[in-house]
Amino acid sequence: MKRFKYYIVTAIILLSLVPACKEKEVPPDDTNKIPADIIATNEWIFETLSLYYYWNNNIPGNIDLNLESDPIVYFNKILYKEKDRWSYITDDYPSLKADNSGVPLTMGYYPAFYLAGENNVIIVVCYVYPGSTADEAGLKRGDIILSINNTLLDRTNYYDLYSGINYSVQLGAIEDNSLVSTDKSLTLVARVTQTNPAIHHEIIDVDGIKIGYLTYVEFTSGENGVYLPVLDNIFNEFKNADVSELIVDLRYNPGGDIDAVQHLTSQIAPSNVTLNEEILVKLKYNNELQQYLEYNNYTDLLYYNFKTVSSNINMSRVFVLTTNRSASASELLIIGLKPYMDVVHIGDTTYGKYAGSWVIPDDQEKWAMMPIVMKFANIQDFTDFEDGLFPDHIIKDDPVEAIPFGDPSDPLVAKAIEIATGTTIPLKKAKAADMPGLKQLYPEEMYAGKNLIIPLTKHTLK
């Protein structure tokens, strides 16, 4: 009997807990018979969720997988919707793997979508990856896209148009409370891009107080951990400059892999915490899997610890900037550091994603699922923050306002500077104030699969 191979993020791991069942034949007289390969995929879904899904005891038993013609529909039917908003499945594993490895096919810009009026939609650029197609074309943070391929965006077409791989964008601006065209058009062609998540850093000097600032847009280690040394270089720069305060900007960070969280938090935490390799996070699985992992002493699947890094800057306080887009791994950073240091949380309430996934492909490496397999908690067992993490200082981020990252006049950055130094920074007037009625949209497709990802890099489960 064949066994399924499980590829978790960058590592290829054989999990021999799940034997694949033989393909079942549908009676030949069934005029609506389901193809055998679809049934086999449905079986893989059911068996995998039955073993590893955190809410495996809530899988409904009244859905016949032999009658389900679409594995994606079947997968979503058997999830525990009362709690689970995040489990994900795709029939394009190579693209998912590329995304998670930080080498996606992309234009290289991150959008915020706004409903402007009853039906019109605009795109506001939150950030651009350096060296990407968007960067080379001249697209920048705060740019407003009114149309794509000269087609105005609306509720029905905006995400499909945005998701294309070869198009032109027509830019606009806010003038006199209205959206107007700038007659500027940029041509973008998607390509495989190195999406290093540390897109901006600098040292802000306010009255002689040096503040390290980092914009980190996704927790991505990269292929073979290529993006982790980038963090080392940044924090060595902070260390050599004797920064005494630190701002970590996670306002657009939807999550990512736990290795990146571990590395970044180990740069920040007090040195005694990293030297002692204190617990950063605890992972809790369904009852049967939890018992199995504990019995077999798979401690690296049950805990993640801080690690000793030479670039640690030994902070006693860190300012973390968030919005409602900050999720999972971003929230882990906040709750993981809080027992050990002062975490000053500025911005908006976070998304509220306290759970994590494994990336599980099928034998053919066509299908892959990211089911929720665990919840995470800090050393004090804090978890289940369904309503998100509430900030110490509530300040709404405005992507329509084109304030560069690290600019002291950015309201979120200014608040951190004020607390750190006692100096009040004058704020720039937000352009959105000139354009009432904008309502932000959050398409589900954009956040699909953006979970905390836990790798199985050290063990084969037997």
- How confident is the model over 275-332, as pLDDT tens digits? 999 999 999 999 999 999 999 999 989 999 999 999 999 999 999 999 999 999 999 9
Q: What are phi and psi of 268, to 5 degrees?
A: -95, -40
Percent of the chain with pLDDT over 90: 81
Q: Report whether pLDDT(394) > 50.
A: yes
CA dihedral of 36, 367, 105, 200, whole degrees rounded to 10? 170
Q: What is the pLDDT of residue 429?
A: 62
434 has a pLDDT exceeding 70: no
pLDDT of residue 433: 52
Q: What is the pLDDT of residue 438?
A: 86
Confidence of residue 15 (pLDDT cuts 50, 70, 90): very low
| Long-range pairs for 10-13: beta carbons < 8 A, 24 or more residues apart | 10/101, 10/221, 10/223, 10/224, 10/455, 10/457, 11/455, 11/456, 11/457, 13/456, 13/457, 13/459, 13/460, 13/461
- Residues 250, 321 contacting (CB under 8 angstroms): yes
Mean pLDDT value across residues 206-219: 97
Q: Give me the chain's average pLDDT, please.
A: 90
State yes or no: pLDDT of 263 exceeds 90.
yes
For residue 419, the surrounding DSSP H or E stretch is helix 411-421
Above 50 in pLDDT, residue 355? yes
State residue 345's pLDDT score.
98
Checking if the pLDDT of 267 tops 70, the result is yes
The mean per-residue pLDDT over the stretch 427-447 comes to 74
| Domains defined along the chain, listed by start | 3-100 (no CATH), 105-192 (2.30.42.10), 198-356+372-427 (3.90.226.10)
Residue 367: both structure tokens together: 């299908």
- Asked if residue 49 has pLDDT above 60, the reply is yes
pLDDT at 449: 74
